[in-house]
Each structure stands twice: as structure tokens, then as C-alpha cells.
Amino acid sequence: MNKADVLIIGAGPTGLFCAHQLGIIGLSSEIVDNLDKAGGQCIELYPDKPIYDIPAIPECTGEELTNNLLKQIKPFNINFHLNQRVEELKKVNDRWHVKTNGNKEFDVASIVIAGGVGSFEPRKFTIKECEKFEGNSLFYAVKDKTIFKDKTISIFGGGDSALDWAIELSNTSKVNLIHRRDGFSGMEASVQKIKELNDKGKINLYTKYQLDSVSGDNKINSIKIKHDDGEVKDIKSDYVLGFFGLIMQLGPILDWGLNIDKKKVEVNTENFETNINGIFAIGDICSYPGKLKLILSGFHEGALAARGCFKYAKPNEKLRFEFTTTSKAAQERLGIKND
């Protein structure tokens, strides 16, 4: 059981800065995120795209912003629990007990949901029978590539994941690469490589085709793919891999009894607390009149939510407002040495 004052759900910019604000006022926090790294949408959707509206930073990329925030919270030695999605929530006396899908448990005084538009999960095939094969002969990520040796693999998608795996697996497997259009979103060098491999007969490239059906008993043995013009091809296939990027799902948070409207959690604007005492929501996931989905708004919301958490963590203490420029306590927490 990890014990802390606050559990922050989501390691995007809003969650990271909230951890900073909690640290400044002397509260401890732990952060969980379903991705394998911190940064949230900034890292997953636009790591290289410049952002121009962070106050006092004329231009920075999503990755730079994330790295700077991580640097800013370094003094607080916050634990990150990545690849974890929160599942269960239980109130135990005055505390919250939270459990993740990886069986990590937390005992906290309050919770800050900074979950963006939900946790990132792979987008799946829309054909119903695919579910039956998921995890045995149909995958959305490669965990153990040795199982594909000398087998026929059909890879769907046109981004870097699809191209990279098609190239990699073509060394040891028979690879079909299927994509819905002629253009690819992956790196140009990879696209060229795929075309070369196709010309040499090392890869079978099918463009303007999409998956039509899968068949097999326990495992897949063949699939049908359909061209834009309606033509259907039957191809033998031992495995199917789908790389369609990530989608964002609210997941188990939906069942926590929060007031949710249009996938957003309703909060008050005084301290960004939800309808449930001790549970706060900040950033893209919260809604209130006038809400702007900007990173800078998330920072403001996190600062106020952190103060809102104080009374749950330290019910017998009074929080005094202080500036980091002059507060000895805040500077000590930041590890700054004053002579």
C-alpha cells in the first residue's frame, strides 16, 4: 500500500504541475498514468509540435514542456506509477483506497483527477469476431516477437508502428502489410523501405484494403480483406497485428459516482472539487462555465485544487498563503539552501 496525502491520476502537464503545487504547500503525492511515460497528450499526441501559449515561454514543444515540468517537481521526489490504470475506489473512514489494474494500492486523503480526455488505449478493429482472437493470434502491440518466426503475419495500419514492425518482422516471417490508402503517415524512409521490400517480394503490400473478416477455430488461420472498390481477397494468416494509434477512454472513473456530462467531470471553480468530497478534477477532464481547454488553465486549476486538498490531508492545520520568493518553508521543500 502506497500512503500519501494525494493521489494524482494522470501525468500530463496539469497533473505534474499540481504535484508541484502540492509539494510547495507540504503535501506528498503519488502519480499514476496509463501510459509508459509522463507527459500525457503533450507526449503522446504532439511531442514535436511547438506550443505558443504557455505564459512566459514564447515557444516550446510538448516534450520540452514535459521535461521542464519534471525538472520543476524533482525536489519533491514524487513516485510515478506508469502503465497503471486506476480501477477501484473505496472510502475507508476518512481516507480513499485506490487500486490499479496492475494491483498497486494507494491510501490517500484526497484524489486529483487530471486525466485529460481519458486513458490512452489502442484503437481496435471494429469487426466483432476479432475480440475472440485478441491476445492469442491478434494483437495491438508486440510483446514477444519470437512467436512470429516463420509464420504469416498480416499487419494493418500506415503509421510508424505498422511500418516498423512490417520491416522488422519481414526478416523472419512472411509479412502482409495492409493499409486503407496509398499514403502513409510513417516516416518517409520507412515508406521507401516498405516499397523496396514489396518490390523484392519480401513483403506483400495491399493498399486501399481494409479488414473484412477473420476466421479460424482457436487461432486465426485466414482473413479476408476488402478493396475500396468492393473486391475481396482471402489471405492466409497466422497472426494479425493492428496499429491504429491510441484512443482515449474515461474507463472505470465513469463508475465512481461523479457528476459527468459529455465525458467531463463537473467541478466548482473555487477549488475544483467534484460532487464527491475529497475528489478533485483539473485540466481537460473537468468542466465548469467558461472552461478553456488550455494548459495554462490546467495549471491554475491544479494550484487551487492543491489548496483544496490541504484540509483533507491536514485537518487540524491552517494553510497560510505564501510566495515561493519569500517563504522559508516553501524554499526548504524545494531544497534551496539559504545561507
Partner 1 sequence: MSKITYITHDNKTHTIDVQNGLTVMEGAIQNDIPGIDADCGGGMACATCHVYVNDNWSDKLPKKEDGEEDMLDMAFEPRSNSRLSCQLIVSNELDGLIVNIPSKQV
Q: Which three cell numbers stand for residue 214?
A: 477473420
Residue 192 in contact with partner 1, rule: CB under 8 A: no
**Counting beta carbons within 10 angstroms of the beta carbon of residue 77, is it exposed (0 to 12), middle (13 to 18) or buried (19 or more)?**
exposed
Binder of partner 1 out of 117, 166, 175, 304 (CB under 8 A): 117
The CB-of-314 to partner 1 minimum distance in angstroms stands at 36
Within residues 69-108, the interface with partner 1 by CB under 8 A covers: none
The only residue of 37, 104, 123, 233 in contact with partner 1, by rule CB under 8 A = 123
Rounded CA separation 225/244 (Å): 16
> Binding partner 1 by CB under 8 A: which of 263, 300, 307, 311?
263
Which residue is listed with cell 512467436?
Answer: 147
Cα-atom radius of gyration of the chain, to the nearest Å?
Answer: 24
Site track for partner 1 across 292-311, x = CB under 8 A: -x------------------
Q: Does 251 bind partner 1 (CB under 8 A)?
A: no
Please, which residue, 81 or 226, has the CB nearer to partner 1? 226
Q: Which of 75, 18, 10, 12 is nearest to 46 (CA)?
A: 12
CB neighbourhood size of 66 (10 A): 22
| Helical packing angle, 62-73 and 13-24, nearest 10° | 20
Residues that contact partner 1, how many (by CB under 8 A): 25
User: Pick from 14, 21, 34, 41: which binds partner 1 (CB under 8 A)?
Assistant: 41
Q: What is the distance between the alpha carbons of residues 219 and 62, in angstroms, rounded to a whole number?
A: 41
Q: What residue ranges bind partner 1 (CB under 8 A)?
A: 41, 45-46, 117-118, 123, 126, 157-159, 179-181, 183, 185, 228, 244-249, 263, 284, 293
